Structure 1
């Protein structure tokens, strides 16, 4: 496993700790292999900031890029005792044809002290697009639960604006107006008008693949949060990508077990509901889901991948000061994931008939 070493003045570390919600980066150095890079460092995430093991956001300053990226995230995966669900999910999306950040596990040290196993994640930004040879285009993050493609908040209150819940990651503020127009169409057109207009805004096939991925991995938050929208400048259509998928594969974001049938095959959110109301799109979703269940989301396809992941992490479990378990206990979590896959596949296969 690759070793990352961060060196930082203790006063800057204390500054981060004094206000865990501060997003301003402090200066630091990171050593990767034999090379050192000047970076900006801050905490990232929401719930995780209150935990003992923090997640970090890193901006490369000198040089400006590292392996083609200007920004990376180091996720603590603190509430996922397998340390694997996020990576397994994002890799799964990649396999089924959805743009997804790449990731790898690293061993993190800060000022000589081992902070444990972290998951390095690509930032979904213009540099990722360039690395993937994708057309340039605005990127909009769904930053909270108001990003449900609706006029109504999750608390059943009228939103103050159509773009509430969204933040521009790459592009200009005017790019949000395109999303506002799309949300207005989702919520105001009749079924007949919506069917005629929706494919002028959305890459429907890719959205349905994303939907199948969220449903299979059972990320309850994934329908109204934990995603980004990318406006492909070649097609002028929105595409969608997953983000923060540790609450998956049979557990929620707090690490508690979820029943295999907790999320229905039709998923949630206003856009999904309107698309699946249209028969051709519902049948297209059924075909996509059938293919994924047959070829990708099953024990035969996933067990070797999961086994390899656990074999990589197992030797380093005792080096992580925040993990209170041994190698045998860690291995048991693999069975939780595998049992979930088997039961979830059976449940979804049974529900295909209802589509």
Structure 2
């Protein structure tokens, strides 16, 4: 694998030792501490805390960074993801860039090299937050945003966690933008998805969901095979101009052949129809099912192909490899890192062939 002369941006995080101890004292606490972040020669006052769920227990921590500097009007919050469970450290970025090619709004991201209090912390993925600034940067009107934060965000009346009736219809979601009326509208969405009669669903659901954008998102989750992505790791945005919900991907590291624990996931694990109640009901409508099949057929000949994706995979590997060698948490696994090239390339080939073979399932 050739070395690349281009350099990753260097981010320097400075946290008072007392605050470092405070963060480590309770890794599950969401309260941030004051810090300073230097990036691109600019030094900013920030608030920093750990982020994620199971990843907080990993030795290499991920961070949520909130900016205090008044001049940073278009960057309120970013995430620095450790990508610890992904041996390649590129799956999240590869997935989000694929979604953009599918016509789905997704967070901007780039790999950076992070130091904390002068010591190397390693390669991180700087990930844009999906919030009002995300909307502004894309010239989207301000509307409510809800994060799907756990498996109960399955568009169902039944909990995916304990398989009982949900205590609240918006269980599984965390409001990022909006107010209590936004929460009530979300509850109405979930209720409608589950109670519209089958004969009327194809007509009435158009009053709630941007179908074309949902099908493009569904194609992206099916392509990348993010098993958890159907019931969490997405953001729901209500566009006030159309009154329709759109869906954005979020945190797609458990993709391209590995699960959330970093274990190998067979290329045929997720069916071509995907999962969750909303997908099942949408694809039960013959018109939508036909549109989804035509969309997949087109994308399987253009975007989701080894010819199109393999150079992107190789480029990302070449970009970060010199820095993985400097990553105190990853340099001992550099051989595993390099083997991930073939793991991802083989997944793309096998997943594409599987999906092509199962297009007839959508007839």
User: Which range, TM-score by smaller chain?
Assistant: over 0.9
Is 1:125 the counterpart of 2:131? The answer is: yes
Q: Tell me the CA shift for residue 329 of structure 1.
A: 3.9
Is 1:353 the counterpart of 2:360? The answer is: yes
**1:46-83 deviations in Å (ceiling 9; x for gaps):** 011001000000000023527x2100000000000100
Equivalents in 2 of 1:275, 1:130: separation in Å?
Answer: 30
Q: In the alignment, which residue of structure 1 is the partner of 2:155?
A: 149
> TM-score, normalised on structure 1?
0.98
Query: Which aligned runs of 4 or more in structure 1 are off by greater than 2 angstroms?
Result: 324-331
Is the Cα–Cα contact under 8 Å of residues 28 and 38 in structure 1 kept in the other structure?
yes
Is the Cα–Cα contact under 8 Å of residues 87 and 336 in structure 2 kept in the other structure?
no
Moved more, 204-213 or 330-339: 330-339
Pick the aligned partner of 2:95 from 78, 89, 93: 89
Is 1:104 the counterpart of 2:134? The answer is: no
Pick the aligned partner of 1:332 from 320, 323, 339: 339
Equivalents in 1 of 2:55, 2:71: separation in Å?
Answer: 27
Q: Tell me the CA shift for residue 180 of structure 1.
A: 1.1
Equivalents in 1 of 2:60, 2:94: separation in Å?
Answer: 21
Query: 1:189-338 to 2 correspondence within 5 Å?
Result: 189-325=196-332, 327-338=334-345
Equivalents in 2 of 1:5, 1:99: separation in Å?
Answer: 29
- Indicate the SS of the match to 1:30: strand
Equivalents in 1 of 2:299, 2:262: separation in Å?
Answer: 26
Equivalents in 1 of 2:179, 2:71: separation in Å?
Answer: 22
Q: In the alignment, which residue of structure 2 is the partner of 1:2?
A: 9
- Indicate the SS of the match to 2:153: coil
Q: Tell me the CA shift for residue 25 of structure 1.
A: 1.1
Q: In the alignment, which residue of structure 2 is the partner of 1:27?
A: 34
Q: In the alignment, which residue of structure 1 is the partner of 2:4?
A: none
Q: Tell me the CA shift for residue 326 of structure 1.
A: 5.9
Q: In the alignment, which residue of structure 1 is the partner of 2:188?
A: 181
Q: Tell me the CA shift for residue 227 of structure 1.
A: 0.4
- Indicate the SS of the match to 1:241: strand
Is the Cα–Cα contact under 8 Å of residues 142 and 228 in structure 1 kept in the other structure?
yes
> TM-score, normalised on structure 2?
0.96
Gaps of 5+ in 1: none
- Indicate the SS of the match to 2:103: coil
Equivalents in 2 of 1:114, 1:264: separation in Å?
Answer: 41
- Indicate the SS of the match to 1:72: strand
Equivalents in 2 of 1:327, 1:273: separation in Å?
Answer: 41
Aligned residues: 354
- Indicate the SS of the match to 1:238: strand
- Indicate the SS of the match to 2:68: strand
RMSD: 1.1
Equivalents in 2 of 1:245, 1:326: separation in Å?
Answer: 22
